[in-house]
Structure 1
Amino acid sequence: MFCPSCGSDQHGQYCRSCGKDLRAVRMAMEKPEASAKSSARDEIGRAVADKIRELKSAKDLSKVVEGVLPEIEKFLESPEEKRFRRIRAGTITTAIGLGAAIGFFLIGVAVGEEGLLFPAGAGLVTFLIGLGMLLNGWHFTVAPKQEADQIAEILSTAEAPPIAAERPFPTSITDHTTHQLPSDPLRAQKARVK
């Protein structure tokens, strides 16, 4: 992998030339980019357009326009569009269920007829279904921007490599490890005890 700062070829977590943290680069390489996803959607759209051009009659074209194209449009939605569609559907279902439950309940109480309480219960069930759809859209459909923010937060809280001034002693690849050991045997024994 090449360091984006200095351009040197690196295999570790940090660049040995400039000290740049290469985890973000590694994560970007491991995850497919959003542009690849959108280009796949474009390819599918072109393939569908080619199939539509091959249709012979107006009847076949109307079938495709009414039945197939709305499903393909849902398939080609981005994750953000799917999330908003689910939240919108949940809001509409919740509002209809709540309105029906309150309306039938109030009419049933005002008229004094217990038969209208059953549709109020159905409205309550519809309200709960809509609430479930809302929760699905809000909490279980992750927005890609949130995911990118979480990755940035993880990288910002990660420990930075130690600075040369903070290291206890300078190391060199030409020094042998025995040079780093205490020369006095008494100090070596105390170091082992600690």
Structure 2
Amino acid sequence: MFCPQCGISQSEDLRFCKQCGANLHAVRQAVTTRDAGGKLDWSKTWVAEMFMSEAEQIKRHQELEQLMGITPEVKRYREIKAGVIVSAAGLGVMIFLSILMEGIIRSGQNPPSDAAILSRIWAAGLIPFFIGLALIINGLFVSRKIVAAAERQERARAKTTDALEAHAEAPRLQSADTTEFVPANFSVTEDTTQHLLNHSRKQ
């Protein structure tokens, strides 16, 4: 066997390559367990995702989220968490820049015109602070409505499914036995074909 990493010939009983340390046992297992007759299913690769429409991509993304257990409530909590982190980072940047610029201004090495600019640089931290604040507000108020709507939709879907299952399992009435009302010798065409019998006898 040749090592797939360095290309050196190795004996079959070695677990690791002597030259580079590659795991030859894992390589042997991969080669022996590989399905030689099986074909590659391109629909399960990233190539298929390139050719999906936007609606199919959204649907696939939702299916993957559902498989991973990411519910709208989980998304909401993640959004709030991200908002707290971004706001805290913005607050930290504001404090850091304020202290740093105050130290630079007090050092006296800058002209007074620069001191006015340097004293306001801390405001750059307001941007992430307000972005984080917006994420928190969105998570607390707006996303709550989205989660509630998703829960209502899920309950309606479950209710519909339950109703369909109940309808499928409901006992059905048996059709009435109408043979007791119809005489055994009766025929639907008897009256309409009676004249044909009379006509054939005359000839």
Give the TM-score, by structure 1 length: 0.36
